[in-house]
Structure formats: C-alpha cells, structure tokens
Structure 1
C-alpha cells in the first residue's frame, strides 16, 4: 500500500447522538489512523458522543446541524485531496484506502464501496444486491456505501446541497448531469440495518422508493424529510 496517496485522504464522519453505537466505528478506524486524516463532525449531540470521540480523534462542531451541513463543514477543514464521507453506523474494509487509491489512479473522480448490511435476512441481502446494481446501472451511489470524491471535483459540483435529506442522492444526480462515472469498489462496506428494522424492513424499502420518486418530481424537501422521520 502506498502511503503517499493515503496521506491525501480525509475521512469525514458526521455524528449525532451515537454514544451507544460509536465504539464499533472508533475501533474500526484505528487501523487507518496513521495513514490518513480522520475528522468527526458533531451536530449538537446531547448524549456524550462528542466526549467519547475526542478521546481518540479530531472532532469538530458544525455551526449548522444536519448531515449535509456537517459533511460540508468537515470538508472545509480537511487537508486531503480525496474526501471519504462515512456514516457513523458503517464499517470500512481493511483495504479501503488502497482501493480508493486504485480507483483514483484509474482516472475516476468519485466512487463508493459495495454495501453489505449487518443482517442475515434474505430481504437485506436483496437490498444490498440492488444497491450495488443501482450504482452500476444508474450511476447512483448513496451515503451508506461510503462515497469518496476528489476534493476539487466536490467543490466544482457545489458540495452537498444544504437540505435535510437526499443530499447523497442529489450529489449523484449532479455527477450524472456532469457526465462522470461513479466507480464501484469490490471491497464491501458493512452498514447497520437499524433504520430498516425500526419501522419494518420491507415497509422502509417501499417508503424510500416513494420518497426518492417525490424528490425527483421536485416536491417540497421539508415534506419529504418529515415523511422520512
């Protein structure tokens, strides 16, 4: 693995009230700590998440709450030429940095990982398969797949839109319009199925498809966000 490229990677993780789940990610990131920049960006957590993170990692407090705002703020303070946006309930594969290096060296400006949910259910395995297929066929990548992007291109696209939901979807739409291809890394990122379990796996999948359809039609983003909640 070349550390020259790795040193130019900044991992940015937005967090909000993750005190009971953040330890798993904190442990996962230890293997990358000396190879790249790691930035957590807190959005006014009230449960002690920030205190736990500060023991080991760089933590910023975003002036504005919300995942898109937190990720943009982290990007503005980062030193790397490549930004990896990581959800707090996702776990990176051990070869994540080298895989990013390979993708970027091939001329891609953006990519994401294959996703696998931490579930043995057939329904979630199908969801994983469809998510990966979506990247290949529709050039749409979502945040739970660990989106990485060259910083200069990220800013040329206009960063993440300051919206309460669908910021990753909109970024993919902007990339498609610009004619760029999202590379799909073979290594898998493991993401929690918790948002699916909370309201029912199948019900949540149907709801997400409906909300994406509403977003494509240009319906009010606040209405979409409220329906998601």
Structure 2
C-alpha cells in the first residue's frame, strides 16, 4: 500500500504540474495573440483582427471574431480540459495531504484549536466564499472598472489571507489561499467562459444573433486568470 500511495501521489503531482503548464501556457498564448492582432487590410465579415504566425516550419493565419463568426465551422477546439485537470488533480492532492493529514499540515493548535473535520469544512467553505464574492464583484457595477475591481479584489484576498492566518497553520493558510485562487480560476472556465461560449454556439445554430455580453464577460475572466 505504501508503494501504491507513493506512486499515486507522484502521478497526481506530475499531472497537476503538467496540466497547469498546459493551461497557463495556452492562456498566455492567447493573450499574446490578442496583443498581436492587426486590422490592416481587408478582414472577413465581423472579424476583429488577424495575425500571421510562423512556427514549426509552417504558417498560421489567425482571425478573431469579437462576438462570433457569421457561421460555425464543422469542428471547434475547446480549451477547457487543461483547467479541469489542473483543479481536479490539485484538489485531490490538497485533500490527500491537508485534509487527511490536517493535524500535521493544516492545523496549528497554537493558532486555533480545531478538529480535523472543522478545519476541513472551514477550508471548503473558504473555496465557496472566495468564488461567490469574486463572481459577485465581477457581476456588480464594480466589474465595469478593471482598476476598481482589481483594488477591491486585492483587498478581499488580503482579508481572506489574514482570516485564514488566524485559523490555520502558516503553511496551511498559505496553501489555502493558493487553492482558493486556483478554484476561482477554474470556476471562471467552468461557470462563466465555457457556458458563455456554449450560448454563443447555440445562438448561431439557431440562426440568432449572439449576445455580445458572453464574449465580453469571458474575455474579462480569461484575463483575470492570467
């Protein structure tokens, strides 16, 4: 059993690292792609910009549609599984180490006398609270100003970090904050970006004009994830 645990933990750690690299790497690529878009010359109908790139012995012609193209291609590549794999592997690791070993890693009796179950429930509640407040801020009028939203969001994270430092061990509080930020990022993909894109696809398939709010909201959350 010890050997199974050792190899299982190693597999999860590597899966988490590799999936995270794939996720953040693709996100960085699309940020770069957006910054390299040009509007020179004729563009297809409803296109917002284009970019020519060369890599691996070939040329790539990228065209971005700010809301949606006039029609859908037969195949679409969805960028989501990198985020899901990163969060799932990370949460399983977090649970296996910090929940199963809460008395050793998550709890410091000198900080707060917590039972393993209460510490686990507080931790999970922190994930839910972090996402709920962040999502609420983005959907509120504060979300119209990225500067104000960033300032309020930063203060919220500081408050969370201080609160968890009064509940958990130093190591536990540090990892809890990282897990909350990772949860917010993954939830952006699962709860906002992908559902919005699916609604755009559904509108196009129904012959309707897609609501531009989905693209705007998805872009905002995608930038936040970087």
Indicate the structure (1 or 2) with the bigger Cα radius of gyration: 2
Answer whether TM exceeds 0.5 for this pair: no
TM-score scaled to structure 1, two decimals?
Answer: 0.25
TM-score scaled to structure 2, two decimals?
Answer: 0.25
Structure holding more helix per residue: 2
